[in-house]
Structures are given as structure tokens and as C-alpha cells.
Amino acid sequence: MYLHYSMFNGNNMKNAILLVLLLFSFNAYAQDELFGSNKQPTRKGLIIGINGNLDFPGGDMAKRFGTSYRVGGSLQYKTTKNWLFGAKFDFILGNNIKDDSLMINLKDANGQVIAQDGQRIGVGTFQRGYMVGVQAGKIINIGKKNGDNGILFLTGVGFMQHKINIFDRTQSTPQLNKTMKKGYDRLTNGMHLEQYIGYAYFANNGLVNFNIGLNIAAGFTKGRRDYLYDVMRADNQSRFDLLFGIKAGWYIPVFKRKSEEIFFE
């Protein structure tokens, strides 16, 4: 899949890539004595992950939203050959909405939403969504003292959904009640593919276990609302939504010793 560089903010991409390369260099050449110097063979077992993403939008996503964040978790199984298989779930969070036509039929000349009594009210708009899927990958070992550490490649497939969450603080506008909001929220969902390349680190003594790298997700989505009140049309167009950025996560491994005794790190 060919992705043109102009889809993303050039400075943000350069800074993200530079940061990850610096972190790769630090972890590849850091002294093992800092986290434990005993030689450690490759281990197998479950890995619980707590993940966070800083995402820059591309494609159709960039027309509607700005920079966003993802937080979530994962559960993976790692083999002694450093293959990984598992599932993940992320919440999508953001507050940069670019859709100029949003609620235009409810706003005055100053862009303020007008309540039923004619008063201007504060209405918050936020990006909200989630991504759920399965993933598989491999750690390419590059360390001399720990077989678990190295360059991590992951690929995933799943379902993504996003919309504009509209929050009427005063609840004084009937056009923005629970039912009517559906005609404004731009609910969108569909299949997504995800690719990740980063560095995975597991300390010999179990004190530090993490990953950090670059992540890209491509959503093949579609609008799911039969009618939008503000632009007076159906929202059923197919979309190509992109999220690109930095992903970092903390690992809680549950590995097995050769005696098959389970231990937490």
C-alpha cells in the first residue's frame, strides 16, 4: 500500500522518527549491568501490555480530526522462537475537530450554538472511538545477553469506529438530545489494518519491560448515519482513514521457567 508523505505533517513525522531512532540506539547499546547482567535465554509465556499512542491523521481522517491519542491494552503469547500472537483494544481520544459544517444549522454568525430560548450555549465536541483486533509478529533478537530483546514487528487486523461526541453542558437544546445527536455525530466504522515496528526490551531481573516504536493504522471505513441534519444528506460514503505516530507500552510478562514454574516479572 502506497502512502504519500504529504498525508502527514512533515515536522511531526521527522520528530517522531528521530525520537524513536534515538531510543533504539540507547537500548541497543546500553550496558546490561543497569538492568541485570546475567545471560538470559529466550523465554515463553503470556505478556500483558499497557499501551499508548500519539497519532497524526491522514487520508479522510485528516479532513475531520487533528492529532489524537490512543490508550489501551493487549494480551499476547510469546514463544521461545520470539513469535507473538494475541489481541488488543484501544480507545481513541481527541479534541481537535476540523469539520466546519458540524451543527452549522444550530449556530449564529459567530459560530455559537443557539438554545431554544435564543441564548448562546457552550457545546463541547470531542473525537471518540475505539479499535479492537488480533495481531501477530516477531522479535528479531539483536542483543548479546538477552534473547528476548530486539526489533519488534507486529501486524494486525480488526474493527475500528470513531465519531464526534457532542456534549451539551446545559441540556437546553432539544436538537441535541440523545436521539437527535445521531444526526450530527458522523458515526463511522469498518475494518482496519495495522503495522508496527519498534524495540522490545525485557530486563533480565524483571524491573524494566517495555516497547516503543512507530505505528500506522489504515481504516477501510464507511459513514453509518442515514441522515445528517446540518448538511441535509446521508452519511454513507466509503472512507480511507489513516493514523500514524508513536506507540509505547509497558509489559507485564508472565514467563515460564524450564521447570514450567510460572513467575511474574
Share of the chain above pLDDT 70, in %: 82
Q: In 81-234, which residue ranges form alpha helices assigned H by DSSP? A: none
Residue 182 domain-assigned (yes or no): yes
Residue 118: predicted pLDDT:
75
The C-alpha angle with vertex 5 and arms to 89 and 90, in degrees rounded to 5, equals 5
Instruction: Supply the pLDDT for residue 8.
Output: 46
In a domain, 224, yes or no: yes
Which whole-number Å values give the CA distances from 37 to 32, 205, 218, 263, in the listed order?
A: 5, 9, 40, 19
4 in a structural domain: no
Question: Which of 37-41, 161-165, 172-176, 249-253 has the lowest average pLDDT?
Answer: 37-41
pLDDT, position 2 = 41
Nearest to 89 by CA among 161, 138, 152, 150: 161
**Domain annotation covers residue 219:** yes
Does residue 129 contact residue 92 with C-beta atoms inside 8 Å? yes
Asked if residue 8 belongs to a domain, the reply is no
Which tens digit of pLDDT belongs to each residue from 158-203? 999 999 999 988 787 888 998 999 999 999 999 999 999 999 999 8
Please state, in angstroms and rounded to a whole number, the distance separating the CA atoms of residues 125 and 128: 10
* pLDDT of res. 239: 98
| pLDDT tens per residue, range 122-138 | 889 999 999 999 999 99
Average pLDDT, the chain: 86
Whether 37 is covered by a domain: the verdict is no
Q: Residue 183 belongs to a domain with what CATH number?
A: 2.40.160.20
Domain count for the chain: 1
Query: For residue 19, what are the domain limits?
Result: 15-31+44-255
Query: What average pLDDT does the segment 240-256 reach?
Result: 95
The position carrying cell 489504515 is 218
Residue 9 is predicted with a pLDDT of 56
pLDDT of amino acid 113? 87
Q: Is residue 221 part of a domain?
A: yes
Does residue 29 have a pLDDT over 50?
A: no
Residue 233, CB half-sphere, CA atoms under 13 Å: how many?
7
Top pLDDT among 102 and 206 is at 102
Per-residue pLDDT, averaged over 43-69, amounts to 97
CB contact burial 211-228 (16+ within 10 A = b; e otherwise)? bbbbbbbbbebebbbeeb
Does 80 map to a domain? yes
Q: Alpha carbon of 231 to those of 84, 105, 106, 234, 235: distances in Å?
A: 46, 8, 11, 9, 10
List the single range of 7-16, 74-83, 100-109, 148-157 with lowest mean pLDDT: 7-16
